[in-house]
Amino acid sequence: MNKKLPKAYYVEWRDAVSGSGWEDEHRLHKRRCFALGFLVRKGRGAIKLAACTDRQQVTSTLVIPRKMIRRMVRVHLPPTKWNK
């Protein structure tokens, strides 16, 4: 992992839905989800966010497929000695 603090992002995305029983068609919708975290990886098929970092390791990661992302906005953090 890079020694610099990763960039932070706000992401709106559609969650996948699954079920194991009979459901009315109008109930089959994708949930709208919101995430805020440090961008750890940006791949062709997905991004990976982390809730926490110490600049060498990350924890509480979330992988979101790119096709499900509806909006992704960089969050500018105030300057700190960590950003250097």
pLDDT tens sequence across 43-70: 999 999 999 988 788 999 999 999 999 9
pLDDT band at 1 (very low <50, low <70, confident <90, very high): very low
User: Is 2.30.30 the CATH classification of the domain at 1-17+28-75?
Assistant: yes
Q: Is the pLDDT of residue 80 over 80?
A: no
- pLDDT above 90 as % of the chain: 55
pLDDT of residue 25: 65
- Alpha-carbon span 64 to 49, nearest angstrom: 8
- Across the range 12-22, mean pLDDT stands at 79
- Alpha-carbon span 11 to 80, nearest angstrom: 23
Structure-token pair, residue 53: 């970092």
